[in-house]
Every structure is written in structure tokens, then in C-alpha cells.
Amino acid sequence: MAKKTIADIDVQGKKVLMRCDFNVPLDENCDITSDDRIVKALPTIKHILERGGAIILMSHLGRPGGVRNEKMSLAPVAKRLSELLGKEVAFADDCVGAETKAKAQALSGGDCMLLENLRFHKEETIKDKAAKEDAQLREAKDNFARELAGMADIYVDDAFGTAHRDNASMYTVPSVMEGKPRVIGFLIEKELKFLGETLSAPEKPFVAILGGAKVSDKIGVIENLLDKVDNILIGGAMAYTFFKAQGRIVGKSLCEDDFLDKATRLLKQAEEVDCEIVLPVDTVIVSELKAGAENKVVAGDIEADWQGVDIGPETRKLFADKLCGAKTIIWNGPMGIFEVPPFDEGTKALSLAVAEAADTEARSVIGGVDSASAITKLGLQEKVSHISTGGGASLEFLEGKKFLCLEILDEK
Ligand code: ADP
Ligand code: MG
């Protein structure tokens, strides 16, 4: 059951309302420091413009909390998009209102307009649960969505990064546009292909690598993957909660004492379904965390006043061995405090091992902002099959959660 994409419908002479993720990083002068997200949206935008559609683009930027904030204006994005497209991109100073509506009406085929930050209006982020319990909120959210929807004939969602939320522009707008074409763009199509197919029909052996700071963030992912993967390699601070659950001493390493029982249960569950959870066999520890800090490698307990900051050299070899021959790999979360060198060595070694496996045709999917940045820093982004653009969204996808705002869009 694949979703219809923008390529499946006729946009000629139609007004297309498209939700993008233009939540780009800005510096103190409101200059865009990375236009990656704008560049990624280009294929879908060009496809529509070249086929004679008029586009109304909408996005959020930052967390302005429902009020106007010039520091979070999307105006710089309109300018950059215009440069990238080599054509004028009109900018509407407000995402709704009479003036914006008139501007939208005046658009003809091949025209492109960007609306101001959706989150300047508090209605955008009203949660559906809250709206169900409060008629006033419901009405406010619906009216806001109807104003947006009223400008267009077609709805396109290409913002995977917010696809796990029930924001007005993501969920309520397509809901009120029932009967009109509601489809996905090429970015989401790619995300669904890689994340979706990887989980539903993985070629075996299937290895998951999980790291990062917290077990609590990734319990849902571990639970969902247990009966799908052959191995789960655990690095990062997550490992220490598992160590402590096994009765080991972890010093002052980051550890979640509230999740010791859960960790024990996960280890037992894994055994029952024949999934091997592989924990580190050695750890790089420091007594004080700073760049280039004096450090040592221990195989067993971590003494008091010392903190685990990376997987050790033996673990790097062990994890690389486990990846050798894998046909499917999912990776979420760095292996150590990779922001502070040399404690990025474990993450680097793992990135190289994933890239090597990809050389032998393993499908490799990277989810998570920090893991993606680690791979990109090493210049290995071309080696892997897919780097997800959605941090929280990719995590929820790996947890097996349903995305309401995608469910309501048209099926092929
Ligand atoms: P992602 O963004 O890829 O999903 P997370 O946000 O879950 O990854 O985790 C990334 C964070 O985990 C990084 O900031 C990193 O410093 C931290 N981290 C990794 N290993 C450790 C460790 N041993 N101790 C403390 N923090 C760690
Ligand atoms: Mg992160």
C-alpha cells in the first residue's frame, strides 16, 4: 500500500499547497548557515513548476511559540529558494489572512510563493488531543487549517521531519481537503521506501546499531526491532544502563537508574526471540571530560569518579565483525561523546564499518541527527543507502508507530 506521489497526479493549472521542512539553521544576522533542507525540497518543487502547477509553500522555522518573531521569519528562505530555482519566489508576510489569500489567487501555473512561518500562529501546534477536549481549540485549529486549505486544489506533504506530529498544516489541512488530491512529495517517498521497506522486508542478516545518550529514548525502537533483526549492537551511554542492570559498576557514566528493570527485561526478551544483543566488551573512560583528556580503556567495571565516553578498540573490532556480511543495517545514535575528540574514534570506526558493509551491497539506513552528522563529517554520506532527514520522526518510525498525517493521504 504505497502512497500516491506528486508524479501520479495532474497539476497543470492547479494550485498546490505544499508542506516543506524549511526549518533551516540561521545565524545571529538571520543568514542561513545550511541550505541543505531547501536543496532537498527542490526536486518536488521543480516537478510541480515544470508541469504547470502553481505552488504555495508552507513551513515552520524554530519555536516562536505562536507569536510573530522576525528572527524566525522565513523571508531568507524565500530569497535562497529563489536563487536556487533561478526564478522569483513571492513571499507572503503572513501564512493566512485576506492579503495572503489574494496573493495566492493571483498565482498562475509555474509561479511559486512561500508563506511566512506557520508557527507565528498558535493554532499550528495545537495538539489534536487538546482540541478534542476543548471545543474552542478545535474550532481555532480547524479554522486555521481551512484558511490554508482554501487557497489550494491539491495538498502535498514533503516534510518528513514533522510527519510524526499532528500539526494543523500536516494533519488538519489534508483532513479538511478530503475529496481533493492529497499526496506525498519525493522526499517523503524516499523516506518511506528506505525506512518502510527496510523494516517490512529486510534482507538478512539484519543488524541494528543503537547508541546515543539515553536508553529511555530508544526502548520503543529496541522493542520493535527485537523480532526483526538478528543482532542489536549497543554503544553510547545506553550501554551503561545495561551494564548496571547486569550488576556491573559504571562509575559516574551516564546511566538511567529508572530503567534498570526495563533493560533486564529487554535482555531476557531478546534471548526468547533469538535476537543477539551485543554489548561493548571494553570502554574508553576519563576522569574529567574535555578534549584530549587523559583516558584509559577498561574491559570490566568502571571505577568511581571515572566516566565511560566511547566504545573501546576491541568493541570496535567486534562490532565491525558483526557488520561483516550483513545485508541490512539500521544505525541510530553515536557510539560515544563524538563532539569531544578523541572520543569520536568509536563512532568513526563504526561509520567506516557501515560504509564497508555498504560496499558489499548491504542496505544501510541512518536515522538520527547526530549519527547523520557523524557520517557526513567523515564524508561517507554517499556510501550509505539512505540518511533520514527526520530525527524524531525516524525514531518513531523505527518504533513502528503509525503516522496519522501520512495515513490520511491518498493511496496509489
Ligand atoms: P541521534 O541524534 O543520532 O539520534 P542521540 O541524540 O540519541 O543520537 O544521542 C547523541 C548524543 O549521545 C550525543 O550528544 C553524544 O554526546 C551522546 N553520547 C554518546 N555516548 C555517550 C556517553 N558515553 N556518555 C554520554 N553521552 C553520550
Ligand atoms: Mg540527537
Higher pLDDT, 243 or 389: 243
How far is the C-alpha of 37 from the C-alpha of 25, rounded, in Å? 10
Mean predicted confidence (pLDDT) in 87-102: 98
How far is the C-alpha of 221 from the C-alpha of 399, rounded, in Å? 4
Specify the pLDDT at position 358.
76
SS3 376: helix
339 lines ligand 1 (CB under 6 A): yes
Residue 1 pLDDT > 80, yes or no? no
Specify the pLDDT at position 359.
75
| DSSP string for 271-331 | HHTT-EEE--S-EEEESS-STT--EEEESS-B-TT-EEEEE-HHHHHHHHHHHTT-SEEEE
Residue 368 pLDDT > 90, yes or no? no
Q: Among residues 325, 289, 329, which one has the least CA distance to residue 306?
A: 289
Q: Among residues 279, 401, 378, 383, which one has the least CA distance to residue 329?
A: 383
pTM: predicted TM-score of the whole model, two decimal places: 0.88
> How does pLDDT run across 221-233, given as a tens digit for each residue?
999 999 999 999 9
Q: Among residues 159, 175, 177, 179, which one has the least CA distance to residue 118?
A: 159
Continuous segment of H or E residues that includes residue 238: helix 238-245
Residue nearest to atom 26 of ligand 1 (CA): 213
| DSSP string for 80-128 | HHHHHHTS--EEESSSSSHHHHHHHHT--TT-EEEE--GGGSGGGG--H
Helix axes 391-398, 215-225, angle to 10 degrees: 40
Residue 293 pLDDT > 90, yes or no? no
Q: Among residues 66, 72, 58, 54, which one has the least CA distance to residue 153?
A: 54
pLDDT band at 373 (very low <50, low <70, confident <90, very high): confident
Residue 235 pLDDT > 70, yes or no? yes
- Ligand 1 pocket test, pick from 242, 337, 395, 398 with the greatest ligand atom count within 8 Å of Cβ, gives 337
334 lines ligand 1 (CB under 6 A): yes
Assign residue 212 a region (left: φ > 0; alpha: ψ between -120 and 50; beta: otherwise).
Answer: left
- Ligand 1 pocket test, pick from 370, 377, 395, 399 with the greatest ligand atom count within 8 Å of Cβ, gives 370
Q: Average pLDDT, whole number, for the chain?
A: 95
Higher pLDDT, 95 or 390: 95
344 lines ligand 1 (CB under 6 A): no
Q: Give the position of cell 518502510.
A: 196
